[in-house]
């Protein structure tokens, strides 16, 4: 297949490009600058279509022309995820494309009310708008927390600095900062593995039917994670309760009320979104699981123990 990957130079976009190429597909990369792609990738893709911004309609239509499928891998920018993704969807519609994988790879927001997680509101709004106005049925994949985000790799997401869950100490010691008691089952996913799952889904016979899918590499409690690290590395990983679930709820309510009262939620929400994520994982209401992994058993899954063994930076 000829697959368009929008946002190809981002963390997830580049991972999707590599997975598509590995599976023998042609890739048409879409982004702002080809210089952001590694040289090895540039030599393998079918072409690169440069767009000036998310509503560069002319070049979005050039990107979609003659393609079999579109995967949107835009980063976590609300404008890109709603306005930009809608522009891409319309370009795909006009090109007659029937397979569209939306930017997702998150907790399962399919039944989540607006306002529960600010960063998911654009995704929910896009999903509803697509359902109401498009004959195309997008695909969505929910996978929980990325390994790079959970373990705090720089640039990996909102679980860094004051919101970090995984803290490096001296002599290999680690601390897990948790909301609640660390007994909720948490879905954990390697970007490369969920990218493989997404490619398997969008190239499957029923891809045009769209729908919501759940995948994760592994799932575990934070108590189990601490025990596994201590056992495998031979150094202590301690659990530190940052606050109870009830205290976290109150902190989120206060932060939102303060932002609303000041009239600048658009500048403040990123300051408390780490608390919101922590609350969601602790409650577990929207945590996806390995529900659909058997649909594509060829997609590998890495357990947390092997991930700790294989990655010395953890």
**Per-residue confidence of the chain (314 residues) as pLDDT tens digits?**
999 999 999 999 999 999 999 999 999 999 999 999 999 999 999 999 999 999 999 999 999 999 999 999 999 999 999 999 999 999 999 999 999 999 999 999 999 999 999 999 999 999 999 999 999 999 999 999 999 999 987 665 555 566 689 999 998 999 999 999 999 999 999 999 999 999 999 999 999 999 999 999 999 999 999 999 999 999 999 999 999 999 999 999 999 999 999 999 999 999 999 999 999 999 999 999 999 999 999 999 999 999 999 999 99
3-state secondary structure of 69: strand
Domain ranges of the chain: 2-146+187-217+287-301, 147-186+220-283
Predicted pLDDT of residue 159: 56
- Other beta carbons less than 10 A from residue 250's beta carbon: 12
77: CB partners within 8 A, 6+ apart: 84
Q: Burial letters for 151-168: b for 16+ Cβ neighbours within 10 Å, e otherwise?
A: bbbeebbbbbeebbbbee
- Other beta carbons less than 10 A from residue 73's beta carbon: 26
Of 72, 55, 67, nearest to 12 by C-alpha is 72
Predicted pLDDT of residue 153: 78
Would you say the C-alpha torsion 303, 304, 310, 313 has a positive or negative sign? positive
Predicted pLDDT of residue 288: 98
Which of 3.40.50.300, 3.40.630.90, 3.40.50.720, 2.170.190.11 is the CATH number of 2-146+187-217+287-301? 3.40.50.720
Predicted pLDDT of residue 152: 85
Of 108, 161, 128, 155, nearest to 12 by C-alpha is 155
146: CB partners within 8 A, 6+ apart: 105, 156, 157, 189, 190, 191
> What is the crossing angle of helices 11-22 and 191-202, to 10°?
60
CA atoms within 13 A of residue 100's CA, in its CB half-sphere:
25
Question: What is the SS3 assignment for 226-272?
Answer: HHHHHHHHCCCEEEEEEECHHHHHHHHHHHHHHHHHHCCHHHHHHHH
The residue whose two tokens read 């004051």 is 162
Of 174, 171, 146, nearest to 159 by C-alpha is 146
């Amino acid at each position: 297949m000829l697959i368009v990957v929008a946002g190809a130079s981002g963390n997830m976009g580049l991972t999707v490009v590599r997975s598509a190429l590995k599976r023998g597909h042609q890739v048409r990369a879409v982004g702002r600058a080809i210089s952001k792609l590694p040289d090895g990738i540039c030599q393998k893709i079918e072409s690169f279509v440069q767009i000036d911004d998310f509503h560069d309609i002319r070049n979005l239509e050039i990107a979609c022309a003659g393609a079999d499928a579109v995967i949107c891998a835009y980063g976590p920018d609300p404008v890109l995820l709603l306005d930009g993704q809608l522009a891409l969807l319309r370009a795909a519609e006009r090109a007659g494309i029937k397979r569209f994988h939306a930017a997702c790879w998150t907790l399962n927001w399919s039944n989540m009310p607006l306002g529960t997680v600010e960063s998911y509101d654009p995704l929910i709004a896009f999903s509803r708008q697509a359902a109401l106005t498009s004959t195309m049925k997008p695909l969505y994949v929910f996978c929980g927390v990325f390994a790079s985000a959970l373990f705090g790799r720089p640039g990996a997401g909102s679980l860094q600095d004051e919101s970090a869950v995984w803290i490096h100490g001296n002599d290999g010691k680690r601390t897990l900062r948790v909301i609640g008691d660390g007994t909720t089952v948490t879905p954990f996913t390697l970007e490369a593995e969920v990218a493989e799952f997404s490619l398997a889904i969008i190239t499957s016979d029923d891809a045009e039917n769209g729908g919501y899918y759940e995948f994760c590499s592994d799932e575990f409690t934070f108590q189990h994670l601490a025990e596994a690290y201590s056992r495998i590395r031979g150094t202590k990983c301690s659990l530190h309760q940052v606050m109870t679930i009830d205290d976290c709820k109150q902190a989120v309510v206060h932060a939102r009320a303060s932002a609303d009262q000041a009239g600048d939620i658009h500048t403040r929400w990123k300051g408390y979104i780490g608390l919101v994520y922590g609350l969601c994982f602790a409650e577990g209401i929207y945590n996806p699981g390995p529900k659909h992994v058997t649909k594509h058993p060829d997609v590998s899954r890495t357990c947390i123990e092997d991930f700790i063994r294989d990655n010395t930076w953890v």
